[in-house]
Every structure is written in structure tokens, then in C-alpha cells.
Amino acid sequence: MKLKRFNPHWPSIQSSWIALALFSLSGIAEEAAPRFSIPQENHQFSFPEDHGSHPDFKIEWWYLTGHLFSGDERFGFQATFFRLAQSPEDIPEGELFGNEQIYMAHMAISDASGKRFIHESRFNRGGWNAFSRMGKLDVRNGNWSLSGSESEMMLTGSIRSEAAFSLTLNPAKSLVVFGENGVSRKGAAEEAASYYLTFPRIDAKGTLRISGRDLEVKGEVWMDHEVSSSQLDRNQVGWDWVSIQLFDGREIMGYLLRNEDGSVSEFSKIVWIDEEGNLTNQLAEDFTWIPGGEWESPKTGAVYPISPSIETTDPKTGDKLVLKVQPLFPEQEMAAAPGGVSYWEGACDILDSTQVLIGRGYLELTGYVGDLAERLR
């Protein structure tokens, strides 16, 4: 794969994908704690059990993004629940309870009409206002929760006193499993992999309270559930990730993995999901990711390429295709408090080469603030 205008000095990764590694050295594949499981090929998934928690793995998250509408008003949202198992050596001396699991969660709303982005992060330990159940989908962090089954889920969230939402989620498309033989591999090391389960298109409806108004909303949601013990190879420092829901009934998931020397990892990938849920994998040499639309955060000073283009081939027609990722507005950075994790995660439109709107998506840009990889070493 070719990457145009790649900056070899992009800093090391800070991402929602590995934010939990702030508590642990397990974020680098070579240092994965041996007592934790790693994904195995040809694993036989069992549902609803595998929608629940997997405490024998180090890192796990349930991640939802979506586009909601109320009349002419449009909102993007993110809701992510993280679980991180702690190694005995990570637990401070004298801790009495809740020391085996740490829970973090992020919530954000993008108000497209008002060009306003609000967000909140939470940290709790197990048994202290946060949990994730085994055997079924049921995760909670304070009054934020995600629960339900493959046919219907409930998501409840809020952002301080500024917003609150309650959504009923009904998958419009069946679950897909990314990767080869059930394992999504991010590097050559055996540990650099995950189980990657996704509902690529979910119908959503419910209520949103924002700016003192109660709105009825409906729209579409993307949901990931990843289970891992170490996502990256040691020489990898970050990635850009996108999910796309095309108006023709297909979806795309793609990520660009960046190496320390400024090159693009051969494990970068794009995956197309057709109308029936069948997957077409396009490897690093099959597409070109072109960074664009640089925006400098006034809060962190990070410079994010918030409007990339992806040059690829449509697997249905064989035609060359350009996917232009256009954010609803630039200010969609999850800026953290000191010592936390900052990254850009925003609602976007998807345009073709003629600037015609062909879908909607969410873009995550990581590794542009600080030097988390150095902290992990």
C-alpha cells in the first residue's frame, strides 16, 4: 500500500483502542503478560455468551458510534466501555477490593447543527460502580450501560449535565467476525491480535436530551466488540481507523497501522461487507490512504489529518473508487485531562470523487498527542 504525504515524525500512539494500557505494560506485544489468553485460530464463538466479558484476556472493549437525526437536526455519538484485567504486580499494595479489573468509559456527542462537541471519560474499578458480566451482554460504568441480546440492545449514556440519551438498538445486519480464521492480526507477533466482532449496521431509536431540550431521535449505529491481550507489535506506534456505512447497503472497516520509522505496516487493511454480510479483505498493497485536512487542536496542540481519502477498488464492480472522509466539523477531539488519553474521534460524511454523498462514517485518529508507547516501555 502507498501512503501519500506520510509524516515520519508522527508521535507515538494514544488511542481509545489501547487507552487501558495506561494501567499496564501489556500494550506492547513482546511484553504481554503470560497469564492472559491470546486469540486462537478457528475459535468456535458461542452467542450470546461471547457478547459478554472475557476476563481471561487482558483488554476488552465494547465500542459504539452512530448518526442520529431529529427532524433537520443531526448528531453523532460515541459510547465505549473498556475492561482491563490487572496483573498481580500491577496492583498497589494495600488494595482491598475491586483490584482485578479496571473499567474506563468514554461518551461523546457531536452536535452538527451547533458545531459543538461534548465528551466525558470515567474510570472505576470492578465492584465500585462498574462491571462487565460473563455469559451475556451487560456492561456498566456508573449510570452508563449497554445490555441486551443479538436482536435488541439498550444503550444509556450522559455527558455531565449537558446531555443524556437512551437508545434501543436493533441490528439490521448480522454480526461479522473480522480476520483470518477468526483472528484479527495487527502484527507478526502471535500476541498482536484480537477477536474482532462487529454489528456493522444497527437501527437506533430513542431520546436525546441536549441544551435543555428533549428530542426523539433515530438513526444508524456501528458496534465493535474486541477481545485481546496485546494489540500491537513493538515497532508500531499508532493507527488511523474508519468505519463506513454506504447508502447502497454495504459497509467498510479500515485501519492504517503506522511504524516507528514512518512506514506503513503490512498489516494495514480494508474490509468490505456486502449486502449479505460477506467479507472482502483488501491488504496494504491494495489501497492508498491519503492524509488530508490538517486541523490543529487548540487544547492539545495536536495536528490531525481529519479528512483523508482512500483510493481502492470496489469489489462488486472492479472499478477504481475514491472514498473522501469529510468530518461534520473539525472540533471532535477527545481531549483528556493531564495524564489521560487524547485522540480525535468524529462523525463524518463519505463522498466519492465527484463530491457526491455516498455514505456516513466515523473516523478515529490516534497517536498525535504525547508518547504513550515510550511510557509503556
Round the CA-based radius of gyration of the chain to a whole number and report it. Answer: 19
Question: What is the per-residue pLDDT across 317-365, written as a single tens digit (0 to 9) for each?
Answer: 999 999 999 999 999 999 886 656 789 999 999 999 999 999 999 999 9
Which are the contacts of 99, defined by CB distance < 8 A and separation ≥ 6? 86, 91, 92, 125, 126
pLDDT at 98: 56
pLDDT at 164: 98
* Residue at 56: amino acid letter: D
Q: Does pTM surpass 0.85?
A: yes
Lowest mean pLDDT across 87-101, 157-171, 204-218:
87-101
Report the C-alpha gap between 164 and 314 in whole angstroms. Answer: 39
Q: What would you measure as the largest C-alpha separation in the chain, in angstroms?
A: 62
Residue 90 has pLDDT above 70, yes or no: no
Question: What is the per-residue pLDDT across 43-74, written as a single tens digit (0 to 9) for each?
Answer: 999 999 999 999 999 999 999 999 999 999 99
Mean pLDDT for the stretch of residues 159-178: 97
Q: Which long-range contacts (CB under 8 A, 24 or more apart) does 110-114 make?
A: 110/75, 110/76, 110/77, 110/328, 110/329, 110/332, 110/346, 110/347, 111/75, 111/210, 111/211, 112/73, 112/74, 112/75, 112/76, 112/328, 112/329, 112/347, 113/72, 113/73, 113/74, 114/211
Question: Do residues 231 and 27 make contact, with C-beta atoms less than 8 angstroms apart?
Answer: yes
Mean pLDDT for the stretch of residues 167-192: 92
> Residue 27 belongs to a domain with what CATH number?
2.40.370.10
C-beta atoms surrounding 169 within 10 Å = 23
pLDDT at 187: 85
pLDDT at 229: 85
Mean pLDDT for the stretch of residues 179-193: 88
Among 365, 327, 352, which Cα is nearest to 76's? 327
Mean pLDDT for the stretch of residues 162-190: 94
Residue 315 has pLDDT above 70, yes or no: yes
pLDDT at 367: 82
Residue 191 has pLDDT above 90, yes or no: no
Handedness of CA 279, 52, 195, 291 (dihedral sign): positive
Report the C-alpha gap between 215 and 225 in whole angstroms. Answer: 28
Highest mean pLDDT among 155-169, 260-274, 326-340: 155-169
The number of angstroms, rounded, from the C-alpha of 167 to the middle of its chain's C-alpha atoms is: 19
The pLDDT confidence band at residue 307, using thresholds 50, 70 and 90, is very high
pLDDT at 92: 58
pLDDT at 190: 83
How many structural domains compose the chain? 1
Report the C-alpha gap between 141 and 120 in whole angstroms. Answer: 12
Report the C-alpha gap between 289 and 238 in whole angstroms. Answer: 15
Report the C-alpha gap between 358 and 247 in whole angstroms. Answer: 6
The rounded percent of the chain whose pLDDT value lies above 90 is: 68
pLDDT at 34: 53
- Which residue is associated with the grid cell 444497527? 202
Residue 126 has pLDDT above 90, yes or no: no
Domain that holds residue 214: 2-376
Residue 130 has pLDDT above 70, yes or no: yes
Residue 372 has pLDDT above 50, yes or no: no
Residue 16 has pLDDT above 90, yes or no: no
Mean pLDDT for the stretch of residues 92-110: 77
The pLDDT confidence band at residue 11, using thresholds 50, 70 and 90, is very low
pLDDT at 88: 59
Mean pLDDT for the stretch of residues 3-26: 36
More confidently predicted of 97 and 237: 237
The rounded percent of the chain whose pLDDT value lies above 70 is: 83
pLDDT at 123: 87
Mean pLDDT for the stretch of residues 113-132: 90
Mean pLDDT for the stretch of residues 202-228: 97
Mean pLDDT for the stretch of residues 178-207: 93
